[in-house]
Every structure is written in C-alpha cells, then in structure tokens.
Amino acid sequence: MPAKDKYHDTVARALGKIGWQVIGEQVRLFYGGRRFWVDLQAAQSNGAIAILIEVKGFENAPSPVDYLYSVIGQYILYLAIIEQSSHPMSLYLAVPVEAYEGVLGEELGQLVIDKVQIRLIVFDPRMEEIIKWIT
C-alpha cells in the first residue's frame, strides 16, 4: 500500500467540515491482475452520494508540466478502471488552491481539465477548507 499524500488528512478534514464522511482510505482497485489505490472514498452524510478522491499537491515538482502529465495519466487510468467496475463512482482530483491557480489555471491546465473532463476539488491547505468543486 502506498504512503499517504501530504494533503490526504487535510482533504479528509476539509470534507468533514462540509458534511462529508470519509468511508474509505487507500481504496483498492483491481484490474487485469494489478492493484491500484485511490486515496479517499467519501460519502455525503445521508449516504446518497459516494465518490472517490485522488489527492495531489503539485508543490515540490521539479517540473509542474511533467507532474501534470503524470497526474493526468493516473487520473485517466483510475477513471477507466472505475468505469469498468460493478459499482462505478465519480472520481475527483483534489488539489490545493495554489496548484489550481498555478499550472492548472494556465492555458495548458485548463485545456486538459476541459478535454479530459476532470472533476476537481480545490482546497485551502492552511484553513483545511474546500474552496470549490468543479464537476
């Protein structure tokens, strides 16, 4: 099992502040004899909606574009596996506001978000709050 991302617990607490409950951590996905782990599974307090969340920081990448390339590839891979499962859920990418205003806010980042139709959760790591949902 991989280590938690730097902001894993921050995102979990931020979700709790707005009525979401983390119902799974390091959620395993299986496909073609391989295992993958999505950071969080969360549900609304009434249990009506459950989602999967992959948390990424973007803060110490030597090249933000190379990191974006890797993150988008991971997102697409997870999305394809989730869509093939017997209980598909929406997949979100949680990123700090600095990343959203940085490389993801640039023309290249917006192109990829729009083209791949990435669902985003933008959070403030200092305040541990969700700033916006982009679906």
- 35's CB contacts (< 8 A; 6+ apart) are 28, 29
- Residue 2, pLDDT score: 76
Percent of the residues in the chain that have a pLDDT greater than 70, as a whole number: 99
- Residue 5, pLDDT score: 83
Domains present along the chain, CATH in parentheses: 1-63+93-114 (3.40.1350.10)
- 17's CB contacts (< 8 A; 6+ apart) are 128, 129, 130
Per-residue pLDDT tens digits for 79-121: 999 999 888 899 999 999 999 999 999 999 999 999 999 999 9
